[in-house]
Structure 1
Amino acid sequence: MDTTDLLIAIAALVIGGAVGWFAATARAGSERARLGSDRRAAQERAAAAERSAEAADRAWAGRLEDERRVTARRVEEERDDADRRVAEAEHRAEVQLERERTAARERVEELRADSKRLADEFETLSRKALAANTQQFLAQAEERLKRTQVESAAELAKREQAVKQLVEPLTRTLGDVKSEMTEAEKARLAAHTALAEQVRAMQQSSEQLRTETSQLVTALRAPQVRGRWGELQLRRIVEAAGMVEHVDFEEQETVADGTLRPDLVVKLPGRKQIVVDSKVAFSGYLEAMEARDDETRAKRLAAHARHLRRHIDDLGAKDYGHHVEGSPEFTVMFVPAEVFLNAALEQDPTLLEHAFAQDVVIATPSTLVALLRTVGYTWRQEMLAAEAQQVFSVGRELHKRLSVFGGHLSTLAKRLNSTVDAFNKMSSSLDSRVVTQARKFSALQGLEPDLDVPPPLEVLAVPSQKPDLYPAHLDPDEPVKLRNAAAERRAVLDADRDDTLFLIERAAPGDDERPAGRASSAS
């Protein structure tokens, strides 16, 4: 009876152990299936996180940091939850297997072998999926970078064409300025040469005058000859002053409907004119020079002074200032020699005041040359002022175009900085979004080698800071500010990436921890 009871107890124990073993096997299978589904769900959530990261890359820079933190926090929470469930399942399996390890040791070994085989298969599938995703992302990144490079090259070609179109008018303008300066220099040299020739001609005329003085004294006794000689002297002096007939002066021009005809009308800038009339009143002076006694000489000199005063009155009565358009309120009376005027002034000291009262200015050859030289100098100053105004206009246009050129350079520099910043954002996204997930798989399954991430660019397009080409609206310190901002942005991205990797590595169990757990379960 005891033997029978013992056999029954043994049979019941065997049957209970078998039933427990089958129940444990079923629970382990269900736990393993649930763990596989959890892992697949984690993979799907990781893929969704990757897609969300790719979408976030195209969002605003402000949302990028928030989205990255939310995604990292969500992944970390899901990872913690999955690890917690795995730990709980393993704990329950270990407790159950501890109860049944005596009866089901061999089956546990088989289950361990199956688990290893499933882990190897899962590792192989994970490696293939990760490689495919990484290859696809790298291909997309390379395609986007190539497209960006092509767009940048096209934009740069357009800017180069715009610069060429801007430089060509500048080149033509500079050529025009150079041509005008060359012409002005030629005109100056020609004027200097003409002046030198006129001085030499005046010297020659003076020599001729000395030799012909005696002949003139005899010839000038006739009134017609005296008048013609005075006009000739006036013309020579005007030509000696560098003036040209019909350009700077007019001879014998009729005014006041033909009733008046001055000997000379000098043209001034601004449509102004000066009337010059030659008066040769020196018959009394010649008679005085030929007189034998002082009394006769004094009488003839007094007659010479009266004759000159009469000419002043006649010239004042003609009133050229009201008949010649643009003429000042005086008329120049030309006396061919200083000695004629000096002799009259000795006899009549009030002669000049009388002339001024009649709006007449008496001019001798020396004073008339000075007057005409002043007029010529005024003409030259007028021409120089016109040329200076033209040069100023050309320079202002040149400065305006250089300012536009500087604006184009500034725009091109900003576009280059935007391209570099976009590449750095893409590189940072690859490092913080994709490579992070790859490192998680590497931490889980021990994948090698690690993925290479292209480093961010540190080159910034710095605009020129020359005062002539740099636009006034752009801050000269802007390149330094841009460089500092880019460095700060890279430092923030690197710090966030390091923090994320640290949290993921801290949350994920290492390679040394999982074998220990399995060893404990095996024991």
Structure 2
Amino acid sequence: MLLALIVVATLAAAAGAWALLAERRATRLEALLDAERRAAADKLSSVEHARDALKDTFAALSADALATNNQRFLELARQKLGELHTAAAVDLDVRHKAITDLVQPLKESLGRVDSRLQDVDRERATSHARLAEQLRSLSAAQAALQLETGRLARALRSPNVRGQWGELQLRRVLEAAGMLEGNHFELKESVTADEGRLTPDVLVKLPGGKHVVVDAKVPLSAFLDAGECDDDAARETKLRDHARQLKDHIVRLSGKTYWAHFQPAPDIVVMFVPGEALLSTALQQDTGLLEFSMKRGVMLASPLTLIALLRAITYGWQQEKIAQNAMEISELGRQLYERIAKLAEHFENVGRSLAKSVTAYNGAVGTLESRVLVTARRLKDSGIAPTEELPDVETIDLAPRPLGAPELTGLFDEVVEKA
């Protein structure tokens, strides 16, 4: 127990000593820490002063350096800008010239285009004014045409006017086909028959002395009525009436048997309908109308089909004219050949006469040389001085030239042999 107390006391004393020692150490450490804090504060203050000084110095140096650099940069920039400006100016001049050279043709073209556009605009204005005037004239002409059409429609309802109009159209078709009155056709040729006097509109002459009768018929009243109908059913009724009227004309024309009274002629008569619409409409309403007419010896013809028929007849006349010309040329050739043969006979006689003349001439020359000139030379030798010398007379050795044509070969063989 005592020992324990001693130990405790010892430990307590040791602990107190350690505590005192620790307190002293702590005090020293605090003093040292304070000193270090003061030193650190001094150093921090010095560092802050140095930093401020460095900051000021750096700011001053930076400002100087910046000013210097700015100055150098400005000088360099001025230099570079000057060089660039000079180069740019030169390049700009070059580019300006190049662009000018490039744009100049375009400018000239645009100038021409602008000038042309102005001309076109003026022409357009002129054309517009002219067109407006033409439209006004056309409107007036249309109004006049409508008026005249109405008058014509009213006039064509008269049978006499319709007949005259059909005959006029028929004459125009004949002229369009190239036919001449008196040569290729006759108008209003009349004959007397048992049923009375027959007078067809046209008698067309065919090659070989034949004829074909053409008579114009104008079934127009029902057709005009159909054009005035607003109702389709009524219009169809009128068009069927138009086909019946045309069929009635076929029956009446067939009963006249023109071909029997104008011989020689084919057993057919041409019924001319002076309007394509008149015939085509009737054929649409009555599809058997064409066969009906052909069975009765009537051939229906519109202006186009009649022109084709008359053209064929005109071609026949042309071929006959060519054949006649060929016959005339053949006859002229025969006459020419006979005359050439007669002329060859005259040449033969002339050749014989020439050969005889040459023979007589050569005989006379022989007599002159062998008899007359011998005596004359003797007279000269006897001392008679002639005033002129006797000429030398030569014989003719040429014969008449024979004709070289094969047809005339041999005509002068006999003449040459005799010569």
The answer as to whether partners of 1:255 and 1:324 remain within 8 angstroms in 2 is no
Write the deviation string for residues 108-142 of structure 1: whole angstroms up to 9, x where unpaired.
xxxxxxxxxxxxxxxxxxxxxxxxxxxxxxxxxxx
Is residue 268 of structure 1 aligned with residue 206 of structure 2?
Answer: yes
1:474 matches 2:413: no
Equivalences, count: 259
Deviation at 1:239, TM superposition (A): 4.3
Q: Which residue number corresponds to residue 158 of structure 2? A: 222
- Offset of 1:225 from its aligned partner? 2.7
Aligned residue among 374, 392, 396 for 1:457: 396
Distance 1:379 1:334, change over 3 A: same
How far 1:349 sits from its partner (Å)? 2.2
Paired with 1:456 and 1:211, the residues of 2 have a C-alpha distance of: 104
The answer on 1:235 being equivalent to 2:174 is no
Deviation at 1:390, TM superposition (A): 4.4
For the residue of structure 2 that corresponds to 1:281, the secondary structure is coil
Q: How do residues 135-154 of structure 1 correspond to structure 2 at under 5 angstroms?
A: none
The answer for the alignment partner of 1:244 in structure 2 is 181
Q: Give the match for residue 397 of structure 1.
A: 335
C-alpha distance 223-270 of structure 1, shift in aligned 2 (>3 A) = same
Correspondence for 1:406 among 317, 332, 344? 344
Pair 1:453–1:287, CA change in 2 (3 A): closer
Counterpart residue number, 1:71:
none
The 8 Å contact of residues 253 and 265 in structure 1, kept in 2 or not, is answered as no
1:335-394 Cα shifts (integer Å, max 9, x gaps)? 010111111121222222222111111111122233334444544555565555445444
Q: Tell me the SS of whatever aligns to 1:397.
A: helix
Q: For each residue in 1:70-93, what CA deviation from the matched residue of structure 2 results, as whole angstroms up to 9, or x when unmatched?
A: xxxxxxxxxxxxxxxxxxxxxxxx
Larger radius of gyration: 2
SS at match of 2:180: coil
* Aligned AA (2:396): L
The verdict on how the C-alpha distance between 1:399 and 1:210 changes in structure 2, with shifts beyond 3 A counting, is farther
* Percent identity over paired residues: 39
What is the match of residue 332 of structure 1? 270
Distance 1:409 1:434 in 2: 36
Counterpart of 1:49 in structure 2 is none
Distance 1:265 1:455, change over 3 A: closer
Q: Decide which of 231, 235, 245 is 1:293's aligned counterpart.
A: 231
What residue is the counterpart of 2:299 in the other structure? Answer: 361
Q: Distance in 2 between matches of 1:245 and 1:454?
A: 75
Give the alignment's TM-score, normalised by structure 1.
Answer: 0.42
**Structure 1 stretches lacking a partner, 5+ long:** 1-207, 439-451, 487-523
Where do 1:304-453 residues align within 5 Å? Answer: 304-379=242-317, 382=320, 385-386=323-324, 389-421=327-359
Ranked by relative contact order (alpha carbons within 8 Å, sequence separation 6 or more), the top structure is 1
- Describe the SS at the equivalent of 1:344: helix
CA contact (8 A) 1:252 1:262 kept: yes
| 1:285/1:304 contact within 8 Å kept | yes
Distance 1:343 1:247 in 2: 31
Offset at 1:313?
2.1
Change (3 A) 1:242 1:210: farther
Structure 2 equivalent of residue 253 of structure 1: 190
Secondary structure (helix, strand or coil) at the match of 2:271 reads strand
CA RMSD of aligned residues (A): 4.1
Aligned partner letter, 2:398: V
Could you tell which deviates more after superposition, 385-394 or 406-415?
385-394
- Asked if structure 2 preserves the Cα contact closer than 8 Å seen for 1:256 and 1:324, the reply is no
Whether the aligned pair in 1 keeps the contact of 2:247 and 2:289 (CA below 8 Å) is yes
User: TM-score under structure 2 normalisation?
Assistant: 0.51
